[in-house]
């Protein structure tokens, strides 16, 4: 079963616009992570937010976490064509931080 579910499944925007992806999960978590996957490649870790954190920034990335709603969002500001990729959220469940459970991903296309 998948813990995280991303929304939307696909997103197409123009270069320079902001992209927002959402993730919902079902059980209590230790932390939530976002990964990027370019076509045919492995996953790259972007950012991790702990369950006691509400917001985190890294460069053009902003992640929020609402544990009461069991949801997270990833905002990419001033998007570039190179941001075109699939984005996955992954949750580390409380008491079992060694395992990650991934959602099905959001395919982001940034048009030049």
Partner 1 sequence: NAGVTQTPKFQVLKTGQSMTLQCAQDMNHEYMSWYRQDPGMGLRLIHYSVGAGITDQGEVPNGYNVSRSTTEDFPLRLLSAAPSQTSVYFCASSYPGAFGYTFGSGTRLTVV
Among 2, 18, 28, 58, the residue binding partner 1 under the rule CB under 8 A is 2
| Residue 103 in the binding site for partner 1 (CB under 8 A) | yes
Block residue for tokens 């702990």: 50
Query: Measured between alpha carbons, how far is 99 from 106 in angstroms, rounded to an integer?
Result: 21
Among 20, 22, 24, 30, the residue binding partner 1 under the rule CB under 8 A is 30
Block residue for tokens 């490649």: 41
Q: 2 near 101, Cβ under 8 Å?
A: yes
Q: Kindly indicate which of the ranges 12-20, 27-35, 58-66, 67-75 contains the residues binding partner 1, using the contact rule CB under 8 A.
A: 27-35
Which residues make up the interface to partner 1 (CB under 8 A)?
1-2, 4, 30-31, 33, 35, 41-48, 50, 88, 90, 92, 97-105
């Amino acid at each position: 079963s998948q813990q995280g579910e991303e929304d939307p499944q696909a997103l197409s925007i123009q270069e320079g616009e902001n992209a927002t992806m959402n993730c919902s999960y079902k059980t209590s978590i230790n932390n939530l992570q976002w990964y990027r996957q370019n076509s045919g490649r492995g996953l790259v870790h972007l950012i991790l937010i702990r369950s006691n954190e509400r917001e985190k920034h890294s460069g053009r990335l902003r992640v929020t976490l609402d544990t009461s709603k069991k949801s997270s969002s990833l905002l990419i500001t001033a998007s570039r064509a190179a941001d075109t990729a699939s984005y996955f959220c992954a949750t580390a469940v409380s008491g079992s931080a060694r395992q990650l459970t991934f959602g099905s991903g959001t395919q982001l296309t940034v048009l030049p």
